[in-house]
Each structure stands twice: as structure tokens, then as C-alpha cells.
């Protein structure tokens, strides 16, 4: 399950902003009746970064279908809009905070402009999402609720249109897309094949790392129905939301023999249960094919590269995370490691990589030593200040 080893700490799952009144985010619309535009995007460790123009200035935005529009407090000052109200919202880890809600008079993506669209305002001070990915905001699902979005990963191309005839789509391959909440979050139904077969509603969340995250609530139901069971458990934290790291909790590793997403078969899918109230498909799906999210007609299409996809991944027996700007041991899965590691231990060194001299953002945005190596030597410091070094091998 390599996607969770060091990659999970970059799972800035910016989903489930809730607590706002109905129709809070259902404002704004394109300035033209017919539109089509192609925009190149940058894939930075699974985060899709696109250029957005506001007041004739280009900014970097994260494309995140699991969130509504969001801009930094710095950008709000540059726009010069002093009108806003305060609402209570929560991130994917259930951390709650009050945020400003404002209106962006005009923003442009490629050749398509949107006027008077709602956006939350975030104080980006000392925030890993904004600092490390150098973004100024988020383009969320509410902006695109009447559009069609196609992502072509082989070309790093992002397309927005309201005319599906301009896209190459096999309409017989599409599945139902459900739009939920006042931010028009896109959901689909996936088929899980374990001891039994079951369907699960999942959020299409391009802001989340990994292929698939199962929420603990859904896991409990599937376990009770004998569809699947966990193969390892541990206590700790393994992901970062917009408002920080959640409190430690019991989590489970789950293996799915098969999963069908948009009519395509994935084999050997691994996941870690999350504290969110939604399961989700993350941006790693783009490693296996392109996708089209048709908000306008409520359809989802997955254009796979191969007939079937093998999602088998291995790990080092634990999941790291970030806390207080340090890389630490998050959740320990391997029982043999629990005598060597404790949740919260600081990771000082990986092979020749001295983390004390490394910019934290380099760990987040550059290739991971956990992903690049099958064996590592790791140095950790426990809560008593004692250091230990030992070798680990993926299994």
C-alpha cells in the first residue's frame, strides 16, 4: 500500500465543507451560453494545478472536486472585495472552523469566464497546502455544477465545456453521477467484490491523494454484512485536512480483491479507513485512465488505459504523517514493528536523507524515498529522546 506511505501525508483531503446554508455555493455562472476550453495542468504529487486569471493576473489554483471554491486571504485583499460573511465549516477530518464567505466578481479558466461565484476565504499562514503547492486558491465543484470537465492525464490536459458533443465519449459506458450538498459534490456508485458483492456511494475527489479511501462508517456496514474484513489495524493519524491533523483513532487496513469503477475492473485494491463520513475516489485514478465528470447531465465516464488494472501496492508496515512540521510515525500496521515504533515517534533519517536539514515541502512535492525504495534504513527518535536505527523492507 505504498500510496499511503509518505504519500498519505499529502492527502490534504479538503472535502466536506459543511454547515453552510442551502444555496450558499450555488451562485455565479459562465459569461457565455456556449463554451469550450483546454487548459494544461501540472500534476504535483497527485495534485492538479491549473492557471486561473483574476483581475488580469494569473494565479495557481488546485482543482478539487471534493471542495467548494476557496481563495487565500492574500488573494482576497488583492481582489479588493470587502464584502463577506462568516460561516462555520469542517474539513474531511471533521475539524471545524469559521471561515469568511465572499464573492469573486470574475475569474477566468482558459477561455471561459465565470462571474459572481462564491468562495470561502482561508488564512494561508503556515499552511502546508498553500505553502508547499504554492497555490492561491481552489477551484471546487460548485463552480462547475453546470459544466462538463474532462481530464486527459497522458496529455496533462484539463477541458471545460457545456457541450458534450465536443468530447469523445462513449455514452453507453457512462454511469450515473449524483450531485450532493450545496456545493454540488459529485458521487458515483462503485461495485465492491469481496466475500460478497456490494455497492458503495463514493465521492469523486480530485483533491485527495490515492486511488480509494473507505470511510470507517461504510467499512463497519460492509464488515457486518460479511462483504470484507480488515487485515491489519492500528491507532494514530494518517492524513491532513485543511485545518490540520486529526486526533489519533483506530484505523483499519482493508484489501479488496476487486472493485469496479465506472465499468472498469480494478484488482487488489488496498485502502485505509478514514474518519470522514464519505468514501472517495482520489486523483490516483488518473494513473489508470482519463475521466469525464459531466455535472450538467449527471454522468461519469472512465476511459481506462488497459482492459483491467492491477492496483497491488506494498508498504513498510507503517504510515507516516506530519505534525508540528515534523515527519512522524502515524499508524503502525505490522505487529512486529510495534515493539520498535510508537505512534508519534519522529523520523530523523531515511537512508542518507537527513530530514532535519530538508525543507518539509520537498518531502511533500518531490519524489518520495518511501516510494522509490524497496528497502530503507530509518532512524527514529521516541518521546524520551532516544534514537534507534533499523532496516525495513516492503511486504
Dist CA 318 CA 236 (whole Å) = 10
Q: Which domains does the chain have, with CATH numbers?
A: 12-165 (2.40.70.10), 172-286+304-310 (2.40.70.10), 323-393 (2.30.42)
Report yes or no: 49 and 60 within 8 Å, Cβ to Cβ.
yes
Residue-by-residue pLDDT tens, the chain, 395 positions: 223 223 333 333 343 444 444 557 888 899 999 999 999 999 999 999 999 999 999 999 999 999 999 999 999 999 887 777 777 776 555 566 788 899 999 999 999 999 999 999 987 666 778 888 999 999 999 999 999 999 999 999 999 999 999 998 988 889 999 999 888 999 999 999 999 999 999 999 999 889 999 999 999 999 999 999 888 888 765 555 555 555 667 889 999 999 999 999 999 999 988 877 789 999 999 999 999 999 999 999 999 999 999 999 888 998 888 888 888 998 899 999 988 999 899 999 999 889 888 888 888 888 888 888 889 999 999 989 999 999 999 88
User: Cα 389 to chain center, whole Å?
Assistant: 32
Report yes or no: 49 and 133 within 8 Å, Cβ to Cβ.
yes
* pLDDT confidence of residue 345: 93
Report yes or no: 96 and 24 within 8 Å, Cβ to Cβ.
no
What lies within 8 Å, CB to CB, of 346 at 6+ separation is 326, 327, 328, 329, 380, 381
Dist CA 392 CA 395 (whole Å) = 9
* pLDDT confidence of residue 297: 97
* pLDDT confidence of residue 304: 96
Cell numbers at 245, concatenated: 491533523
Amino acid at each position: 500500500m505504498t500510496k499511503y506511505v509518505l504519500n498519505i501525508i499529502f492527502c490534504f483531503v479538503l472535502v466536506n465543507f459543511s454547515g453552510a446554508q442551502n444555496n450558499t455555493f450555488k451562485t455565479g455562472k459562465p459569461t457565455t451560453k456556449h463554451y469550450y476550453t483546454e487548459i494544461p495542468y501540472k500534476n504535483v504529487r497527485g495534485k492538479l494545478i491549473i492557471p486561473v486569471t483574476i483581475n488580469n493576473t494569473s494565479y495557481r489554483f488546485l482543482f478539487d472536486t471534493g471542495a467548494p471554491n476557496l481563495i487565500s486571504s492574500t488573494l482576497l485583499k488583492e481582489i479588493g472585495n470587502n464584502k463577506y460573511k462568516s460561516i462555520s465549516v469542517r474539513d474531511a477530518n471533521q475539524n471545524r472552523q469559521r471561515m469568511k464567505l465572499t464573492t469573486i466578481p470574475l475569474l477566468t479558466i482558459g477561455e471561459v469566464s465565470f462571474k459572481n461565484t462564491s468562495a470561502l476565504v482561508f488564512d494561508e499562514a503556515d499552511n502546508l497546502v498553500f505553502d508547499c503547492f504554492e497555490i492561491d486558491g481552489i477551484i471546487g465543484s460548485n463552480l462547475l455544477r453546470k459544466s462538463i470537465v474532462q481530464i486527459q492525464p497522458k496529455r496533462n490536459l484539463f477541458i471545460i465545456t457545456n457541450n458534450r458533443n465536443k468530447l469523445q465519449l462513449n455514452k453507453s459506458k457512462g454511469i450515473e453521477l449524483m450531485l450532493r450538498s450545496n456545493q454540488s459534490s459529485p458521487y458515483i456508485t462503485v461495485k465492491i467484490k469481496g466475500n460478497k458483492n456490494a455497492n458503495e456511494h463514493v465521492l469523486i475527489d480530485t483533491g485527495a491523494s490515492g486511488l480509494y479511501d473507505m470511510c470507517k462508517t461504510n467499512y463497519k456496514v460492509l464488515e457486518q454484512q460479511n462483504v470484507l474484513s480488515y487485515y491489519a489495524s492500528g491507532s494514530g493519524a494518517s492524513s491532513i485536512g485543511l485545518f490540520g491533523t486529526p486526533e489519533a483513532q483506530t484505523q483499519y487496513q482493508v484489501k479488496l480483491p476487486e472493485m469496479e469503477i465506472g465499468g472498469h475492473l480494478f484488482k487488489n485494491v488496498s485502502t485505509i479507513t478514514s474518519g470522514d463520513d464519505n468514501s472517495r475516489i482520489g486523483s490516483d485514478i488518473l494513473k489508470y485512465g482519463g475521466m469525464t465528470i459531466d455535472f450538467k447531465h449527471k454522468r461519469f465516464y472512465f476511459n481506462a488505459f488497459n482492459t483491467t488494472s492491477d492496483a497491488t501496492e506494498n508498504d513498510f508496515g507503517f504510515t507516516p504523517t506530519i505534525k508540528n512540521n515534523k515527519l512522524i510515525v502515524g499508524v503502525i500496521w505490522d505487529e512486529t514493528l510495534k515493539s520498535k515504533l510508537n505512534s508519534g515517534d519522529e523520523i530523523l533519517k531515511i537512508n542518507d536523507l537527513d530530514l532535519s536539514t530538508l525543507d518539509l515541502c520537498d518531502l511533500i512535492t518531490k519524489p518520495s524515498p518511501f516510494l522509490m525504495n524497496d528497502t530503507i534504513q530509518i532512524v527514529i527518535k521516541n518521546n524520551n529522546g532516544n534514537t534507534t536505527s533499523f532496516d525495513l523492507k516492503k511486504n
